[in-house]
Amino acid sequence: MSDAWIAVLSAALTGLLSLWGVYAANRKSSAVMAYRIEQLEKKMDKHNQILERTFILEGQVTELQHDVRDLKGARSA
């Protein structure tokens, strides 16, 4: 084989290996990003549940405060 063919084959092999490396790295990066997004969504769900529970509790406290005011008003009358 001539030196030109060896150079062309080695360049082609290097190019293919480089493409494979880029593909593998991109695939791994995408998998890690998907995992992190999933974990972040879980944290957001927990946060949203806490906010919903807090909103409900605030409503209940407001109702109890009104009941206490009504009871104080009925006692003094």
Rounded to the nearest 5°, which phi and psi values hold at 2? Answer: -85, 165
Alpha-carbon 53 to chain mean position:
21
pTM of the model: 0.60
What's the pLDDT at 73?
84
Q: What is the mean pLDDT of residues 63-68?
A: 94
Alpha-carbon 34 to chain mean position:
8
Q: How far is the C-alpha of 56 from the C-alpha of 52, rounded, in Å? A: 6
Q: What is the pLDDT of residues 26-48, one digit of tens each?
A: 999 999 999 999 999 999 999 99
Question: Encoding tokens for residue 3?
Answer: 């030196």
| DSSP letter assigned to residue 77 | -
